[in-house]
């Protein structure tokens, strides 16, 4: 069964760090577009970071320079290292797999498998 399970969320003080993990089963993270999407309390979805199959990465402006994304092929996991955390980073963080197809402008991706999410609370 294709599945994603996030872990690592919790309560952290402003300025602190946290590392989220996403364990994949039924497919390999190394060969896929993998992403982190977050949802602040009562708000909509925000794409936080992406790592493409070729290791190219993307970060939203709101987290650039503070967050890093990586894959551990041996453990088949995706990670998000979050540093210098702020109150506005408080959210449920979802891990999602992307599937892509060729289009006129390049490769188009949509998220076809989602984890249940892990909650990050940044507060003193």
Partner 1 sequence: QSVLTQPPSVSGAPGQRVTISCTGSSSNIGAGYDVHWYQQLPGTAPKLLMYGNSNRPSGVPDRFSGSKSGTSASLAITGLQAEDEADYYCQSYDSSLSGGVFGGGTKLTVL
Which residue, 4 or 12, has its beta carbon nearer to partner 1? Answer: 4
The minimum distance between CB 28 and partner 1, in angstroms, equals 20
CA 39: distance to chain centroid? 11
Provide the binding-site residues for partner 1, judged by CB under 8 A.
35, 37, 44-47, 50, 58, 60-61, 94, 96, 99, 101, 103-105, 108-112, 114-117
Which residue, 54 or 74, has its beta carbon nearer to partner 1? Answer: 54
Nearest to 68 by CA among 93, 50, 52: 50
Which residue, 95 or 122, has its beta carbon nearer to partner 1? Answer: 95
Which residue, 27 or 114, has its beta carbon nearer to partner 1? Answer: 114
The minimum distance between CB 36 and partner 1, in angstroms, equals 11
The minimum distance between CB 52 and partner 1, in angstroms, equals 11
Largest CA distance in the chain: 48
DSSP string, 29-90: GGGSEEEEEEE-TT--EEEEEEE-TTS-EEE-TTTTTTEEEEEETTTTEEEEEE-S--GGG-
């Amino acid at each position: 069964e294709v599945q994603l399970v996030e872990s690592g969320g919790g309560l952290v003080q402003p300025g602190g760090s946290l590392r989220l993990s996403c364990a994949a089963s039924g497919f390999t993270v190394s060969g896929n577009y993998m992403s982190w999407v977050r949802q602040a309390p009562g708000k909509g979805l925000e794409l936080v970071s992406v790592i493409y199959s070729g290791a190219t990465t993307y970060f939203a402006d709101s987290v650039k320079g503070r967050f890093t994304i990586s894959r551990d092929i041996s453990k088949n996991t995706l990670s998000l290292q979050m540093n210098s955390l702020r109150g506005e980073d408080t959210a449920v963080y979802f891990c999602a797999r992307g599937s892509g197809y060729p289009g006129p402008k390049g490769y188009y991706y949509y998220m076809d498998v989602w984890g249940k999410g892990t909650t990050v609370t940044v507060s003193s």
